[in-house]
Structures are given as structure tokens and as C-alpha cells.
Amino acid sequence: MNALGRAFYSPVIGDGGRTPNLARFQFLDAASRDFYPDWELFAEMCVAIMRAEAGRDPHDRGLQELIGELSTCSETFRRLWGAHDVRTHGSGTKRLMHPVVGELTLACEEVAITAAPGLVLLVYTAEPGSPSAERLRLLTSWAANQQARSLAGAESDGVGQLRYTSRRCAAASTRTSRRPSSIS
């Protein structure tokens, strides 16, 4: 994950720099309710996407363990899992409340990586000239400053783009996005 990706997902990553898992963050971290202003909608989508993935690969041990953990630790997850809703990610609009730059409203589209089955890329894009586009530019600047402080003189890793990929559903809206007014 590059500097903008780390900055964008800083609430998910946390102070300890943990590996991001949006499903775990969604249901086990109180900070998710601030990060996702539409928390209940995100929770429903997360579980429905996880259910679709569980149907696609019912022997995925990591996913089974995650479902077990969330079922044990989150009453909301158990309720939503019991609804048996299934969906894929596709496309849409997401609203996030970033602790550094404030509200971001981003268009989102899922792109399948055909060379790596099960791997997807979510591309988040801000409307050009919108407040969200300006906030992404501010976040890019903030990320560059953070990176400069921690890497003192190291070369930038493409701060103008957010890149994060992962296995489908391990982080429901997780697998993330990429460009200055685009996160990919």
C-alpha cells in the first residue's frame, strides 16, 4: 500500500499499522461508525459480499475463520449473516468521513483481475472540481508530509495514487482504489 493508501485507510490500519481488513474493522472497531457515516448500509453490503464469496469458495479457510470470529464477536454481524443476503460489489457511490480531511463522496467501481481469480481492484474516484476532489488533494499532501517525516529523504512511492488490492471479501469494500482525484 502506498502513502495515500495508508493515509486514506488510516482509521482501518490504526496506530499499530495492522493489516487492513474492512470486515473486521466494520464490526469490531468502534471507529468504523465515524469512518462510515452510512454504517448500517456498509455493514449490510459487507456481509452480503462475504456471503457471495463464501458461496464462490466454501472451502476458503481464512474466510471461514473470519466469519466465525465476526459471528462470535458481533451481534450485528450474526443478524446480517442470518439474513442470507448475497451481492457482489459492482459500482456505486460511497461516503466516508476521514479524520484528517472530512467527508469524501466517491464513485466506486470494482474491476476483476482476470489473471488472478478472486483478486479485485476497487477504483474510487472523486468528481472533478468537487469538495471531495479537493479533500483528496489535501490528503495527498498530508500523506506526503507524513511519509517525508517517517522516511526522511526516501523516494516517494506514487503519493498521487491510492493502491490496495486484496482477496475478495476479506475486506468487503476493502480492496481499494487508485489517482489524485481517484483512489485506486
Mean pLDDT taken over the chain: 82
Q: Between residues 168 and 119, which one has the greater pLDDT?
A: 119
The pLDDT of residue 152 is 63
| Strand 119-125 to 182-183 pairing | antiparallel
Quick one: which H or E segment has residue 66? helix 61-73
Q: What is the pLDDT of residues 4-50, one digit of tens each?
A: 888 999 999 987 777 789 999 999 999 999 999 999 999 999 999 99
Beta bridge partners of 97: 103
The pLDDT of residue 158 is 46
Q: Between residues 119 and 106, which one has the greater pLDDT?
A: 106
Domain 3-183: assigned CATH number? 3.30.450
Domain boundaries, the chain: 3-183
Q: What is the pLDDT of residues 51-77, one digit of tens each?
A: 999 998 999 999 999 999 999 999 999
With vertex at residue 38, the alpha carbon angle to CA 49 and CA 85, rounded to the nearest 5 degrees, is 30
In the chain, what percentage of residues exceed pLDDT 90?
Answer: 57
- Whole-prediction pTM value? 0.76
Q: What is the pLDDT of residues 72-92, one digit of tens each?
A: 999 999 999 999 999 887 889
The pLDDT of residue 182 is 42
- Predicted confidence (pLDDT) at residue 104 exceeds the cutoff of 90: yes
Classify each residue of 132-161 as buried b or exposed e, where b means 16 or more C-beta atoms within 10 Å of its C-beta: bbebbeebbebbbebbeeeeeeeeeeebbb
Q: Between residues 61 and 155, which one has the greater pLDDT?
A: 61
Rounded to whole angstroms, the Cα distance separating 175 from 120 reads 7
